[in-house]
Amino acid sequence: MAQRPSIPKGTRDFGPQIMVKRNFIFETIRNVFKRYGYQPIETPAMENLTTLLGKYGDEGDKLLFRILNSGDFLSGIDTNAADFQSGNIASSISEKGLRYDLTVPFARFVVQYRNDISFPFKRYQIQPVWRADRPQKGRYREFYQCDADVVGSNSLLNEAELVQIVDDVFGQLKIQTVVKINNRKILAGIASYIGSPDSLTDITIAIDKLDKIGIENVNRELEERGISAKSIQLLQPILFMTGNSREKINALEGLIGTTEIGAKGLEEVKTLFDYLDSMNLNLSYELDLTLARGLNYYTGAIFEVKALNVSIGSVCGGGRYDDLTGIFGLPDVSGVGISFGADRIYDVMSELNLFPEKTSESTFALFVNFGKEEEKYCLPYLRTLRQAGINSEIFPEADKMKKQLRYADQKNIPVVILAGEEEVKNKQFTVKWMQSGEQQTIQAEKLVELLTH
């Protein structure tokens, strides 16, 4: 009869202590989003597979959680058909999947409600997503994304404000970060400049390894990937580029500035850096030509935010996409957005011990229960405390004093209120401050005043 309870691998339960910390992160992000005029939306956990499939590459399709059609899902399906027998039955018995990210459902949302939305549309969305990834440290099958996107505006001020949001969020969370910035048009410009416009992906993958494997190995890899010797040679000054972001931009102008797309990318990055330089940000930001980011819907700016002083890398990322709503039938609506990874941020804050000690989520005062008469005496005061906005409770039964105090202790309740026979007779309370152990006996009508000041 008794089952040993467990949860699916890669998923997690969150108890009260963890929830309080997670909510601190969510609240911080949410408040910043709101401060910048972003409005909340929510979409269903399930989307039609037609909405999800083909948006995240072949690998992404495999990682979708699919939901069995309900009812008699085999009805009308020929289980003897070759397609079924070959094991390729998923598509015939499953029409829905769990969302894989928040960006594609958002694009679907924008297209579906385009007539009700006033553009530019600034929305934020904080919801879980699901991926059938192999679970490992820091990688889960259910995790939250916190996204802010604006669609229907080409202005680079949006990009700059997103970096400002990053600055505000991590400033409030006290996490030191650097924002790596690149632009897909610059990457395309590089590929075009060296005469391999179709090898953009190969080139960025190789560049990305520069720090790890060194220039010689990078060049060998480029060669293996079929990049011509001439192209590799033209790439060398770009790989060896030094200096700060402005110096790199200047140097690039002399190289890829001659390609149309490269020139456009450089112009965009310059405008963005002009904005950022005027904004007095606390975080640092830099052009990073090795930043490519996997999602292939990006067309302009790309961001990645790295936390400093920790092993965990990226805590936030994003970019501009010009054509995401196009796949759902609404072309020419450019968007740009960022996504905060709440779970990564949680891990960083744990590692650096950055969570605030106190939060308002816990109980502040516990009435000890000495028995029916004393309980009756306490209940109206308990109500008064709650009406005064103080989170408080009474132990529900007259259990051993030791057990009740241990409960207060384990729940980190700072104030315990006692009313035994004596206090009831004198209309008093004895208030015990758990941390110091101090206690004082006061007249009952002074209780609220004492606890609110």
Could you write out the DSSP letters of every residue in 374-416?
Answer: HHHHHHHHHHHHHHTT--EEE-SS---HHHHHHHHHHTT--EE
In terms of C-beta density within 10 A (0-12 exposed, 13-18 middle, 19 or more buried), how is residue 450 classed? middle
Tokens of 67: 């939901």
Q: How far is residue 29 from each of residues 32, 111, 118, 238, 345, measured CA to CA in Å? A: 5, 26, 24, 37, 11
> Residue 416 in contact with residue 451, Cβ under 8 Å?
no
Q: Which of 149, 347, 375, 423 binds its own copies (CB under 8 A)?
A: 375
Confirm or reject binding of residue 392 to its own copies (CB under 8 A): yes
**104: its two tokens:** 């594609």
Instruction: Report the SS3 class of residue 248.
Output: helix
Shortest Å distance, C-beta 250 to its own copies: 22
Identify the residue among 78, 81, 83, 90 touching its own copies (CB under 8 A): 90
Please give the structure tokens belonging to residue 3: 């089952």
The yes or no reply on residue 98 touching its own copies (CB under 8 A) is yes
Q: Choose the binding region for its own copies from 191-199, 223-231, 303-311, 388-396 (rule: CB under 8 A).
A: 388-396
Does position 443 bind its own copies by CB under 8 A? no
Q: Which of 327, 354, 434, 450 binds its own copies (CB under 8 A)?
A: 327
Would you give the binding string for its own copies spanning residues 53-82, x where CB under 8 A is met?
---------xx-xxxx-xxxxxx---x---
Which tokens sit at 306?
Answer: 């790295």
Only one of the segments 148-156, 193-201, 213-221, 243-251 lies at the binding site for its own copies (rule: CB under 8 A); that segment is 148-156
Show contacts with its own copies in window 36-55 (CB under 8 A).
36-37, 39-48, 50-51
> Please, which residue, 173 or 289, has the CB nearer to its own copies?
173
Query: Which lies closer to its own copies via its Cβ, residue 153 or residue 176?
Result: 153
SS3 142: strand
Does 304 bind its own copies (CB under 8 A)? Our answer is no
Q: With binding defined as CB under 8 A, does residue 116 bind its own copies?
A: yes
Per CB under 8 A, the list member of 220, 290, 328, 420 interacting with its own copies is 328
Which ranges in 80-199 belong to alpha helices (H)?
Answer: 82-85, 90-93, 103-112, 157-173, 184-193
Is position 11 an interface residue for its own copies (rule: CB under 8 A)?
Answer: yes
Q: What is the dihedral of CA 31, 33, 35, 39, to 10 degrees?
A: -110
Question: Which amino acid, 129?
Answer: V
We find the least distance from the C-beta atom of residue 107 to its own copies, in angstroms, to be: 8
Does 329 bind its own copies (CB under 8 A)? Our answer is yes
Using the rule CB under 8 A, give the single segment among 7-15, 174-182, 199-207, 433-441 that binds its own copies: 7-15
Q: Which of 13, 211, 216, 332 binds its own copies (CB under 8 A)?
A: 13
Among residues 26, 61, 92, 95, the one that binds its own copies under rule CB under 8 A: 95
Candidate list 208, 234, 393, 414; residue touching its own copies; CB under 8 A: 393
String marking each residue 152-171 x if it binds its own copies according to CB under 8 A: -xxx-xx--x--x---x---
Note whether 362 binds its own copies by CB under 8 A.
yes
Distance of CA 305 to the CA centre of its chain: 12
Q: How far is the CB of 142 from its own copies (least distance, A)?
A: 5
| 443 token code pair | 């007249």
Stretch that binds its own copies, among 119-127, 190-198, 229-237, 433-441 (CB under 8 A): 119-127
Q: Where are the beta strands (DSSP E) in 60-136?
A: 66-68, 94-98, 121-130
Is 120 an interacting residue with respect to its own copies (CB under 8 A)? Answer: yes
Contacts of its own copies in 231-260 (CB under 8 A): none
159: which residues sit within 8 A by CB, 6+ positions away? 272, 275, 300, 301, 303, 320, 336
Contact stretch for its own copies (CB under 8 A) within 1-9, 208-216, 286-294, 419-427:
1-9
User: Which of these, 426, 423, 425, 429, lies nearest to 442 by C-alpha position?
Assistant: 429
123 binds its own copies, rule: CB under 8 A: yes
# of chain residues touching its own copies (CB under 8 A): 111
> What is the Cα Rg of the chain in Å?
29
* Part of the chain binding its own copies (CB under 8 A), chosen from 10-18, 195-203, 285-293, 444-452: 10-18
Strand partners, 142: 130
Which of these segments, 190-198, 314-322, 384-392, 421-429, binds its own copies (CB under 8 A)?
A: 384-392
Separation of alpha carbons 112 and 328, rounded Å: 9
